[in-house]
């Protein structure tokens, strides 16, 4: 039996967290702090300089390394605006967090050869597979 999400998690090394908040009370902060134990995390938020001790980047194009996975913390209706940047950055996976999905974005990303995960929490899925 195959586990596509497990395969994604096992192959991922670098994660750009799009919409990462510097506020410890926000879900994005908690998820990124957890993921830092296992992956190289690159915060993407034009309103922050540094989050979780890591330099923050204004957009995906500014991240200085190849990104394997983009973890998206944005409203579903805003997601299509981030698709061109993800395609240009050559990401392997576009992951929309719990409660986030967008059919048009998914279709465009898949057409570009990018794997898409919608409406799942990266932290929960990672922790579930570590048991």
Are residues 123 and 95 in contact, defined by beta-carbon separation less than 8 angstroms? no
Are residues 71 and 94 in contact, defined by beta-carbon separation less than 8 angstroms? no
**CA–CA separation, 100 and 107 (whole Å):** 15
Tell me which residue range forms the domain holding 91: 4-129
Q: Among residues 92, 79, 87, which one has the least CA distance to residue 15?
A: 92
Q: What is the mean pLDDT of the chain?
A: 96
Query: Does the pLDDT at position 131 exceed 60?
Result: no
What confidence tens digit (pLDDT) does each residue in 53-66 have? 999 999 999 999 99
Cα 115 to the center of its chain, rounded Å: 12
Query: Does the pLDDT at position 1 exceed 80?
Result: no
What does each C-alpha distance from 87 to 32, 70, 74, 105 come to in angstroms?
A: 22, 11, 17, 11
What confidence tens digit (pLDDT) does each residue in 14-38 have? 999 999 999 999 999 999 999 999 9
CATH code where residue 69 lies:
3.40.50.720
Domain total in the chain = 1
Query: Does the pLDDT at position 120 exceed 90?
Result: yes
């Amino acid at each position: 039996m195959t586990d596509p999400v497990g395969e994604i998690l096992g192959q991922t090394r670098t994660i750009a967290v799009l919409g990462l908040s510097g506020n410890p009370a926000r879900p994005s902060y908690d998820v990124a702090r957890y993921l830092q134990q296992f992956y190289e995390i690159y915060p993407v938020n034009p309103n922050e300089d540094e989050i979780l001790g890591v330099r923050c980047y204004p957009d995906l194009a500014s991240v200085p390394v190849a990104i394997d996975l983009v973890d998206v913390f944005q409203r579903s209706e805003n997601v299509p605006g981030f698709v061109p940047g993800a395609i240009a950055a050559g990401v392997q996976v576009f992951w929309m967090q719990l409660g986030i999905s967008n059919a048009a974005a998914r279709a465009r990303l898949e057409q570009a050869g990018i794997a898409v995960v919608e409406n799942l929490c990266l932290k929960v899925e990672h922790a579930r597979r570590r048991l």
